[in-house]
Amino acid sequence: MSGAGLEDVFLSTSLASYLDKKLLVLLRDGRKLLGILRSFDQFANAVLEGACERVIVGDLYCDILLGLYVIRGENVVLIGELDLEKEELPARMISVSAAEIKRAQKAERDATDLKGSMRKRMEFLDLD
């Protein structure tokens, strides 16, 4: 890497141009982590400083502080650079406490479970 000039860093596909920037990392399980990229390698293993998880349920959201995180590359879907000029989320979204978002998450999960069990009971009707 010592031979690479500054231009090469910005032209290449490596994450070098994202170092020390605030990023959004999408994981394979659907989680969204935000933090500052401090290190990475060719597998997209990454170190995030000041990481937090952004939990979104409908129009509610909460950032849960996690600290220093090492993410194993295979779990990474996408790493996005956040445009600091732009709003991170639509204006309609409301920030709530961790307890509240957990409650909303549980309610959403229960609703999906209920839908699943209803569907199962109706399976004999051969819908869809």
Partner 1 sequence: MLFFSYFKELVGKEVTVELKNDLAIRGTLHSVDQYLNIKLENTRVVDQDKYPHMLSVRNCFIRGSVVRYVQLPPDGVDIDILHDATRREARGA
120 binds partner 1 (CB under 8 A): no
Residue of 11, 65, 98, 114 interacting with partner 1 (CB under 8 A): 11
76 binds partner 1 (CB under 8 A): yes
Question: Would you say 45 or 50 has its CB closer to partner 1?
Answer: 45
Give the per-residue contact string, 27-46, with partner 1 (x = CB under 8 A; - = no).
Answer: -x-x-x---------x-x--
Which amino acid would we find at residue 117? S
80 binds partner 1 (CB under 8 A): yes
By CB under 8 A, the count of residues binding partner 1 is 32
